[in-house]
Amino acid sequence: MSAPLPDLLIAPIVRASLAEDLGRAGDVTGQACIAPDARLSAVFATRQAGVVCGAACARVAIAELDPSARFETVVADGEPVQPGTALARVEANARALLAAERTALNLMGRLSGIATLTQRYVDAIAGTRARIVDTRKTTPGLRALEKYAVRCGGGVNHRFGLDDAILIKDNHVAACGGVTEALRRARAFAGHLMKVEVEVDTLAQFDEALAEAPDVILLDNFSLADLREAVRRAAGRVALEASGGISLETVRPVAETGVDVISVGALTHSASVLDIGLDAV
């Protein structure tokens, strides 16, 4: 299970979301309808089966508007849930709670959806050597949260940004004039802790890359036959990552070719929101 994210990372995202919602005058509906000192108790509950993630976002959102709020997390991030499961309970100033509600639900639903989809991919390749990893195809501003949700779903994070590792893609290769030259420049630049990965589109490029001994070779849109051949040629000398349009229907055959890693952009760019509601009790 992934370690929880510290509030330090969550708070700026939550504050930006609250500011976007509250606008220039705050929640005018709450101001019009609810007494300033009214209190409200409510339960966050899921309406779908899935993997929960993001209760801390709800807690931080509510606390930003009511520091005295009492928030109890019932289900830990990464746990499977069924429809109707209570995820968290809260008691807070009514105006504050209802003003924070949409930010809390947006983030919980989004992150739980990512964790749920990731778990489906992980389950689909159970028993193989491959691991499911995410990509940088994340929602701008939400990368830390979305990659945390991938971990909660049993996946593994790829690089977080452009400064984590060297990943030479096809346009880098084109700009350098070839795979060999790109890899040699990368090796000359990289420090002793920085890994070097290169993307290849053909077995011919694969052989060229293999000769330069990168840490990882990314096999982009390879057929199953070519994936198996690349695994055979690599013979364990380099980690192999398969990528490119991989779906829940195709991920198992890809894993069975023997690759080490399968990167799936859909984990973060196409996950459906898990339906979570907040109901007064």
At residue 206, what are phi and psi to the nearest 5 degrees? -60, -45
Q: Which of 136, 169, 187, 195 is catalytic?
A: 169
Type and span of the H or E element at 80: strand 80-81
Residue whose structure tokens are 């609250």: 18
Which residues make Cβ contacts (< 8 Å) with residue 213, sequence separation at least 6? Answer: 237, 238
CA 268 to chain centre: 5
Q: Which of 77, 212, 220, 241 is catalytic?
A: 220
User: Catalytic: 195?
Assistant: no
Q: Which of 15, 89, 102, 228 is catalytic?
A: 102
Q: Which of 77, 146, 197, 199 is catalytic?
A: 199
Cα separation, 158 vs 135, whole angstroms: 6
Q: Which two tokens stand for residue 44?
A: 């966050």
Buried b / exposed e over 62-99, threshold 16 CB at 10 Å, is bbbbbeebebebbbebbeebeeebebbbbbbbbbbbbb
User: Catalytic: 199?
Assistant: yes
Largest separation between any pair of C-alpha atoms in the chain? 72
3-state secondary structure of 108: helix
User: Catalytic: 137?
Assistant: yes
Q: Which of 39, 89, 131, 137 is catalytic?
A: 137
CA 58 to chain centre: 18
Catalytic residues: 102, 137, 169, 199, 220
